């Protein structure tokens, strides 16, 4: 029984480490996407205030995930509401 508890603890530690690594990788990927969108003029520059025009440009460039993310920063709404609004803006 004691060996089983050690195996469970080891597995739990491994799962936590994998989760932390995945979270870090996703955050890095998101930052890279935003940096690329900013370079294309789709994402607001650091000194700019985000507007619906930025969201519309992202949506029209088929950057739907980033458009929804930015829309939710501007308007604190649910994910479903943000997706619906971005789809309308994409035209």
Non-local CB neighbours of 46 within 8 Å, separated by 6+ positions: none
Q: What is the pLDDT of residues 58-83, one digit of tens each?
A: 999 999 999 999 999 999 999 999 99
| 57/51 Cα distance (integer angstroms) | 10
Burial (Cβ within 10 Å: 0-12, 13-18, ≥19) of residue 42: buried
Predicted model pTM: 0.75
Residue % of the chain over a pLDDT of 90: 80
Give the CB-side neighbour count of residue 73, counting CA atoms within 13 A.
Answer: 14
| 24/28 Cα distance (integer angstroms) | 6
- 41 lies in which domain range? 2-90
Q: What is the mean pLDDT of the chain?
A: 90
pLDDT of 84 over the 90 cut: yes
DSSP state of 45: P
pLDDT of 1 over the 50 cut: no
Please give the tally of structural domains in the chain. Answer: 1
């Amino acid at each position: 029984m004691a060996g089983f508890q050690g195996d469970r603890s080891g597995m739990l530690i491994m799962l936590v480490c994998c989760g932390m690594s995945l979270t870090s990788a996703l955050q890095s990927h998101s930052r890279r996407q935003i940096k690329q969108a900013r370079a294309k003029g789709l994402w607001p520059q650091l000194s700019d205030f985000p507007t619906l025009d930025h969201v519309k440009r992202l949506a029209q460039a088929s950057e739907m995930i980033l458009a929804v993310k930015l829309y939710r920063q501007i308007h604190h709404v649910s994910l479903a509401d943000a997706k619906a609004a971005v789809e309308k803006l994409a035209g």
